[in-house]
Amino acid sequence: MLLANGLQALTDQEGRYAFRDLLGLHQVMLDPASAPFPPKALPENLGEGYRKRALVQGATVVDFPLVPPKGWVRVERSTVLRMGPLMVEKKLLSVGEKVYVELRLRSGETLPDFTLTDLLPAGGEKTFHFPEFSGEETLVYEVGEARLTDPEVRWRYP
Whichever domain contains 117, its CATH number is 2.60.40
Check whether residue 64 and residue 85 sit in a common domain. no
- Domain final residue pick, 40, 69, 98: 69
- Residue pair 17/11 in contact (Cβ under 8 Å)? The answer is yes
Question: Sign (positive/negative) of CA torsion 16, 20, 22, 27?
Answer: negative
Domain count across the chain: 2
Check whether residue 27 and residue 41 sit in a common domain. yes
Check whether residue 8 and residue 36 sit in a common domain. yes
pLDDT digits (tens, 9 = 90+) for 61-87: 888 888 877 766 676 788 899 999 999
Check whether residue 143 and residue 107 sit in a common domain. yes
Confidence at residue 57, expressed as pLDDT on a 0 to 100 scale:
86
- Domain final residue pick, 38, 69, 100: 69
Per-residue pLDDT averaged across 136-156, rounded? 90
Confidence at residue 144, expressed as pLDDT on a 0 to 100 scale:
81
pLDDT digits (tens, 9 = 90+) for 109-135: 999 999 999 988 778 899 999 999 999
Check whether residue 7 and residue 27 sit in a common domain. yes
Confidence at residue 109, expressed as pLDDT on a 0 to 100 scale:
95
Per-residue pLDDT averaged across 43-52, rounded? 88
Structural domain boundaries, residue 146: 73-154
How does residue 88 score in pLDDT terms, banded at 50, 70 and 90? Answer: very high
pLDDT at 15 over 80: no
Whole-model pTM: value is: 0.55
Confidence at residue 73, expressed as pLDDT on a 0 to 100 scale:
66
Check whether residue 101 and residue 136 sit in a common domain. yes
Confidence at residue 114, expressed as pLDDT on a 0 to 100 scale:
97
